[in-house]
A and B are shown apart, each in its own frame.
Chain A
Amino acid sequence: MLFNSLHFLVFFPVMLGLYFALPARWRAPLLLGSSYYFYLSWKPLYGLLLAGTTLLDYYSGVRMSQLASPAQRRPWLYLSLASNLGTLFIFKYFNFFSEAAVGLAAALHVPVAAPTLALALPVGVSFYTFQSVAYIVDVYQGKLAAEQHLGRFALFVAFWPQLVAGPIERGAQMLPQLRQRHDFDYGRVASGLRLMAWGMFKKVVIADRLALLANPVFDHPQRFEGLPLLLAVVAFTGQIYADFSGYTDLARGAARVLGYHLVLNFRQPYFAASVGDFWRRWHMSLSGWFRDYVYIPLGGSRAGKARTQLNVLIVFLLSGLWHGASWTFVAWGALHGGYLVLESLTAAARATLAQRLGLAARPRLHQALGTGLTLALVAFAWIFFRANNLPDAFYVATHLFSGWGQLPTAQLTAALAGLGRHFAAELAVAVGAVALLTFVDYHAECGSVAVWLAGWPAAGRWAGYAGLLLAMLYFGIFGSSQFIYFQF
């Protein structure tokens, strides 16, 4: 079920009405049932997969809690990891590695016929398996008490607001909330609904509109050069942020309405002053997961400079692969890893340069330059994330700045074709909506949007809500287009 579908528009109020109408002790079972309904509405068979891995992780956790030494717990850890990562490998990576092996063998002139699996990727599998892995590792390390209640653990894994695209929650953050009573609270519910409305606006007005600009170019990049390519890259840079942060707002808002707090996943990432800063603001729950369960176990920054840089590269290659079983994602991860290594290696030189240029004395200008440069680097990397294959990505990357001598009218017309006959109106709506997003993010960066909103007179606030909903109705692009991160 998609958040931007009619199905959800019926599901959510019905579920919410039942939730608050039922006695408190029935709310968690209702949430679990509705979570499975939410998931099964996509492909019922894969609900069994979710239930199976949940049962195994639950049992592994309980068994580990009964065993004293790490050596005794280890087989259960390995069993759970094998189940989660094995599921991920079979459904997401098997064909990728199989094809890579065949390609390698062909390069070595060894004829090999490797099998491929015709399996649809279960929605959200990358998210819920990572959440389960975090839980099981925390239990193994003794950082978290194993959840003894099967229903509660199943709800931790399947909680519908964040089941299919995160945020990736931790047991220590989420499990205590599942044990609490969640009653109706006007302020919290209203705040959750506001966040959901804002998330939906970002998705249907901004992301899906910018997609119409980016898609025609990325689908046939060789037909374009220069300005249309740049426009498409800029459009996708906006699209991916509005799409994923919009989804996260919807997820966090829905959870808040139900009385649950999900972790922050985005903190105005395009205001980041460096690539390192960007990764502390973008998909924070995934960055935190890789930090805690890959980077630190690899030695983190404790094993010397060279090893630290290698660890960073490994983490970002894996992060790229997590996003998709394709070389484009690997290249995207490698590029970000490279950025961070370069950023680290040039830190001293850049500080010296800033001193010499007088930027150190003008921190706001320094920050603005850093933000601009970071945004440009991040946008460049998105080329690899969005392109359909590596040759396309390299084409876009190498033709961004060619053909600027004359205005490519025919190419621009083709690039804008996705916006339809009213492309001028569509561009105006896109620019206006992105300006609103930037304005709101700026307020969030300076403090809190909630506090800022609270300062408005009530009539102005309600007019704002009405305006937001009407903007969605009139300017939204519907037709159940999927969130980008659902594919991961």
Chain B
Amino acid sequence: MLKLVWRLGLLLGIIGLVGGLGLAAGLRHGYVDAFYARFAAPAAGSLVLGTSRAAQAIRPGVLAARLGGRYEGPWLNYAFTLAESPYGPGYLSSIRRKLAPGTRRGLFVLAVDPWSLSMPKKWRGSGRATTFPEANSMVSQLASVSQHPNLDYLAHYLHKPFYQLLLDTDTARVVERLHPDGWLEIALPPPTANPALLARRTAEKLATYRALAASNQLAARRLASLQATIAFLQAHGRVVLVRLPTGPAMAELEKQYQPDFDAAMSRLGRPVGVPYLNYLTQPYPTNDGNHLTRTAAAQLSQRLAADLARLP
């Protein structure tokens, strides 16, 4: 038995060494994916929260440059996707893990829209009354959210083969770039370069959200989760609700889907002293009728920083 253990140990040692060197090189020079850097970043003092719209629209670096003196860092965009990070207990527990211990003067920008506070209508039924669709998602399940390298993430959620880390070293050729501050840059040419492509992407996105509007509804459980998130974060600093800009057709769809959404958010924030900043109809260009372009993200982040600086 010792002979086998010795030989296996040697074999696995060689594999570990070669694999470890490759992993180190891949993580140092390559690009992992649209989520990893957020889980490899240190615990944060100020957070941007929400779904993909916030992930692509708000640059924490811009906010930090303007507001860094007033609020604690590190600053991180900790917004993911509609499937991963709608407001719910899973996202809240991940936020609890990500927040730097002892934070007292953080800034927490909570991007809200009707989609991230909705649930499928069919989930109203019995048996699912206490569960959330994203209960088994990466954000809900990942226990280690501030480790570098984050082997827990790499082992469970890296959906591309390892060798591709070594191929994705040229950032100029990668369309999607997740910055160390968590901002997800989509490096596409400006929409004006190809209006037909923008129209196609917008049509596809609208079709997806129209289907969502038909099958979902605003959920009391999600609103309660948002309130719980606000209550938790208020103990650690300032909370602001923000409705981000989007394409005109998407904004119109959202108004049809939830005409009273702005009033509901104002009502939710006012009693607990949380301001609600609404940029929904502001004219910023998008890549797909939904997510802002990288240039627009820089502009919006500047404006948001200025508006936040003016808050009493």
**A237 smallest CB distance to B (angstroms):** 22
Known A-B contacts A425-B167, A477-B161; the reply to A470 vs B19 at CB < 8 A is: yes
On whether the beta carbons of A473 and B15 are closer than 8 Å, the reply is: yes
Taken together as a complex, chains A and B put the C-alpha atoms of A477 and B162 apart, in Å, by 8
Stretch at the interface among A65-73, A182-190, A266-274, A369-377: A182-190
**A482 smallest CB distance to B (angstroms):** 13
**B143 smallest CB distance to A (angstroms):** 12
On whether the beta carbons of A473 and B3 are closer than 8 Å, the reply is: no
On whether the beta carbons of A469 and B4 are closer than 8 Å, the reply is: no
**Chain B 147-177 interface mask (CB, 8 Å, partner A; 1/0):** 0000000011111111110011000001000
Residue from A193, A470, A478 whose CB has the most chain B CB atoms within 10 Å: A478
Taken together as a complex, chains A and B put the C-alpha atoms of A26 and B132 apart, in Å, by 43
Q: For the complex, is A480 an interface residue (Cβ under 8 Å from B)?
A: yes
User: Smallest CB-CB separation from A474: which chain B residue?
Assistant: B163
Taken together as a complex, chains A and B put the C-alpha atoms of A479 and B155 apart, in Å, by 7
**Chain A 127-167 interface mask (CB, 8 Å, partner B; 1/0):** 00000000000000000000000000000000000000000
Residues in A with CB closer than 8 Å to B4 are: 186, 189-190
Q: For the complex, is A475 an interface residue (Cβ under 8 Å from B)?
A: yes
Taken together as a complex, chains A and B put the C-alpha atoms of A429 and B162 apart, in Å, by 13
Taken together as a complex, chains A and B put the C-alpha atoms of A20 and B5 apart, in Å, by 12
**Chain B 12-25 interface mask (CB, 8 Å, partner A; 1/0):** 10110011001000
SS of A interface (majority): helix
Q: For the complex, is B127 an interface residue (Cβ under 8 Å from A)?
A: yes
**A137 smallest CB distance to B (angstroms):** 37
**Chain A 165-187 interface mask (CB, 8 Å, partner B; 1/0):** 00000000000000000001010
**Chain A 453-488 interface mask (CB, 8 Å, partner B; 1/0):** 000000000100110011001111111100000000
Q: For the complex, is B1 an interface residue (Cβ under 8 Å from A)?
A: yes
Q: For the complex, is A118 an interface residue (Cβ under 8 Å from B)?
A: yes
Taken together as a complex, chains A and B put the C-alpha atoms of A182 and B127 apart, in Å, by 46
**B187 smallest CB distance to A (angstroms):** 13
User: Smallest CB-CB separation from A208: which chain B residue?
Assistant: B161
Select which of A184, A189, A478 is within 8 A of B158 by beta carbon.
A478
User: Smallest CB-CB separation from A465: which chain B residue?
Assistant: B11
Taken together as a complex, chains A and B put the C-alpha atoms of A473 and B168 apart, in Å, by 17
User: Smallest CB-CB separation from A186: which chain B residue?
Assistant: B4
Residues in B with CB closer than 8 Å to A302 are: none
User: Smallest CB-CB separation from B1: which chain A residue?
Assistant: A184
Residues in A with CB closer than 8 Å to B163 are: 425, 474-475
**Chain B 206-233 interface mask (CB, 8 Å, partner A; 1/0):** 0000000000000000000000000000
Residues in B with CB closer than 8 Å to A466 are: 11, 14-15
**B72 smallest CB distance to A (angstroms):** 35
Task: Classify chain B's interface size.
Answer: 20 to 34
User: Smallest CB-CB separation from B127: which chain A residue?
Assistant: A118
Task: Classify chain A's interface size.
Answer: 20 to 34
Known A-B contacts A20-B1, A422-B167, A425-B167; the reply to A478 vs B15 at CB < 8 A is: no
List CB contacts (< 8 Å) of B16-64 with chain A.
18-19, 22
On whether the beta carbons of A474 and B15 are closer than 8 Å, the reply is: no
Q: For the complex, is A358 an interface residue (Cβ under 8 Å from B)?
A: no
On whether the beta carbons of A469 and B11 are closer than 8 Å, the reply is: yes
On whether the beta carbons of B162 and A474 are closer than 8 Å, the reply is: yes
Residues in A with CB closer than 8 Å to B164 are: 420, 422, 425
List CB contacts (< 8 Å) of B207-265 with chain A.
none
Residues in A with CB closer than 8 Å to B11 are: 462, 465-466, 469
User: Smallest CB-CB separation from A477: which chain B residue?
Assistant: B161
**Chain B 125-144 interface mask (CB, 8 Å, partner A; 1/0):** 00100000000000000000
Residues in B with CB closer than 8 Å to A474 are: 19, 22, 161-163
User: Smallest CB-CB separation from B157: which chain A residue?
Assistant: A479
On whether the beta carbons of A479 and B158 are closer than 8 Å, the reply is: yes
Q: For the complex, is A449 an interface residue (Cβ under 8 Å from B)?
A: no
On whether the beta carbons of A420 and B162 are closer than 8 Å, the reply is: no
Q: For the complex, is A6 an interface residue (Cβ under 8 Å from B)?
A: yes
Residues in B with CB closer than 8 Å to A422 are: 164, 167
On whether the beta carbons of B18 and A470 are closer than 8 Å, the reply is: yes
On whether the beta carbons of A186 and B161 are closer than 8 Å, the reply is: no
On whether the beta carbons of A473 and B162 are closer than 8 Å, the reply is: yes
Known A-B contacts A474-B161, A474-B162, A474-B163; the reply to A479 vs B22 at CB < 8 A is: no
Residues in B with CB closer than 8 Å to A469 are: 11-12, 15
Taken together as a complex, chains A and B put the C-alpha atoms of A209 and B159 apart, in Å, by 11
**A207 smallest CB distance to B (angstroms):** 13
User: Smallest CB-CB separation from B162: which chain A residue?
Assistant: A474
The 4 closest A-B pairs by CB, nearest first: A474-B163, A473-B19, A469-B15, A479-B159
Q: Could you list 17 examples of A-B contacts with CB < 8 Å?
A: A20-B1, A184-B1, A193-B8, A465-B11, A466-B11, A466-B14, A469-B12, A470-B15, A470-B19, A473-B15, A473-B22, A474-B22, A477-B159, A478-B158, A479-B156, A479-B157, A479-B158
A209-B161, A466-B11 are known; give 11 further A-B pairs, CB within 8 A: A6-B155, A422-B167, A425-B167, A469-B12, A470-B18, A473-B22, A474-B161, A475-B161, A476-B162, A478-B156, A478-B158
* B→A interface (CB under 8 Å): 1, 3-4, 8, 11-12, 14-15, 18-19, 22, 127, 155-164, 167-168, 174
